Structure 1
Amino acid sequence: MRMNYFSANPAGLKTLVDAQRHVSKAAEDGELGDGLLGLIYTRVSQINGCAYCIDMHTKDARRAGESEQRLYALSAWRETPFFTPRECAALAWAEANTLIAGRGIDDALFDATRAHFSEQGLVDLTLAICAINAWNRMSISFSADAGSYRPD
């Protein structure tokens, strides 16, 4: 690790940790409590190339009951039969929101995703995507040690 960003700015990181906990709890208590967050966090981390986060989220997803097959196929989810239409909508939304620069979100994607989620569910999903993108940027910027994460 280049530096310990937690010790460099404990108050700032506490804010991010608290926000992540709140977002995850709201999502899990709402429409995303069926393991979808693990897929979203892993896929966004794959897109961003965050090795530490991929390690973390695949460990957590396996611990929560996610199959190895689905985790291995996640980067090619469009070409597999392993994901439900709702999961595919969430993954497409996650990819578009992660790769948003210069692309935006078109109405067709919004409508396709909205068909699977309530207004609150879609906001919860988007907040979860925003949160993991923030963590990816922290972990990548400061070279968090991939493989060092230990689930509780």
Structure 2
Amino acid sequence: MEKRIDIQKLEPNAYEAMFGLEKYLSSTGLDKTLALLIEIRASQVNGCAYCLDIHTKNALKNGESQRRIFALSAWWESPLFNDKEKALLQMVDEISLISEKGLSSPTYQKAKEQFTDKEIAQIIMQISTINVWNRIAISTHMVHEE
């Protein structure tokens, strides 16, 4: 795969804005484990190897188990994730694949049972941000280190 343009070099203000979102996300208090599950799962859904490499390494450093990372691709069948995490992961899938059905009412209601409105807002921002990073990495053919 041939690397394409480097948006960070060509449009540094765009990256500065993205880093601003990252700064906001790190200040929300959203549990780090949940944030990393979002980043890994969205990157799986979108097929972003670059982001999967980064976020799985970060999850392992944060204490996440390899077993749970491997099970993320079939989270809905796995007993390794609790109801709160399953509600979150369903949100990730539906928001990442927004054109299919959007964030469905049943999923939103499950989220409301597990999270406050403020947390739901933070989760939506986390999901949206990783989806932008995935789209940048995929469209520019960013490649992770071997």
The TM-score normalised by the length of structure 2 is 0.94
Count of aligned positions: 144
1:140 paired with 2:142, answer no
Segments ≥4 residues shifted beyond 2 Å: none
Residue in structure 2 matched with residue 106 of structure 1 by the alignment: 104
- TM superposition shift of 1:80: 1.1
For the Cα contact (< 8 Å) 1:52–1:145, is it kept in 2? yes
Q: Which amino acid aligns with 1:109?
A: T
**8 Å contact from structure 1 (residues 96, 104) kept in 2:** yes
Contact 2:94 2:104 in 1 (8 A): no
More displaced stretch, 98-107 vs 84-93: 98-107
C-alpha RMSD over aligned residues: 1.2
Q: Where does residue 127 of structure 1 map in the other structure?
A: 125
- Match of residue 16 from structure 1: 18
- Partner residue of 1:56? 54
Partner in structure 1 of residue 94 of structure 2: 96
TM, length-normalised to structure 1: 0.90
**In 2, are the aligned partners of 1:44 and 1:94 still within 8 Å (CA)?**
yes
Deviation at 1:25, TM superposition (A): 2.4
TM-aligned CA deviation for residue 24 of structure 1: 3.2
Instruction: Give the percent of matched residue pairs that are identical in Structure 1 and Structure 2.
Output: 33
Q: Deviations over 1:52-109 (max 9, x none)?
A: 0000000000000000000011101111110111000000011011111041222211
Q: Which residues of structure 1 form unaligned runs of 5+? A: none
- The structure carrying a bigger helix percent of its residues is 2
Q: Report the secondary structure of 1:35's partner residue.
A: helix
Gaps of 5+ in 2: none
User: Could you tell me how far apart the structure 1 residues matched to 2:127 and 2:104 are?
Assistant: 17
